[in-house]
Amino acid sequence: MRIRIRPATIHDQGAWARLRAELWPECPVHRHELKIRELMAGPGITVLAEGQEGLVGLLEISVRAEGAEGAKGPVPFLEAWYVTRARRGQGIGRSLMQYAERWAASQGHQELASGAPLHNSLAMHLHQRLGFREVGRTVHFVKPLSALEPPSEG
């Protein structure tokens, strides 16, 4: 089955949002729509994989002016990379990445940065397999403050 790799357009927003919802089902639809508008307005690119059945993969790149861990800014940053379950293992993810890499190089960038959650060993393996090198690990923390009393005057 032939797959077409191409940049996203304004007309792809609905199908693009559905792919994002498969990747992040816990995220509300309005957040996906907001992120899509943000990506469309920014200097990055979203690359889509399209088969006979419609969109089957995506790769979103933002350009982070401040850089990213291990890279100086501005740097293209891989925000999302997803292929539907039915189409995994067919080289679609690699084709999306190759398109994005060629785009980033054509824009004058020397590096492509990315990240993966510590628990996602598959993502880490795929990144390394495609030539990324690990530059650090991070654990983030959040503490709720809702139960605290305001400071007393005095």
- At 30-75, the pLDDT tens digits run 999 999 999 999 999 999 999 999 999 999 999 988 888 888 879 9
Q: What domains, with CATH codes, occur in the chain? A: 4-129 (3.40.630.30)
pLDDT at 154 over 70: no
Residue 88's alpha-carbon distances to 56, 57, 117, 134, in angstroms, are 9, 9, 20, 24
Those residues with Cβ within 8 angstroms of residue 129's Cβ, 6 or more apart along the chain or in another chain: none
Closest by CA position to 51, among listed 92, 85, 11: 92
Query: How is residue 73 written in tokens?
Result: 């800014």
- At 3-22, the pLDDT tens digits run 999 999 999 999 999 999 99
Q: What is the pLDDT of residue 150?
A: 75
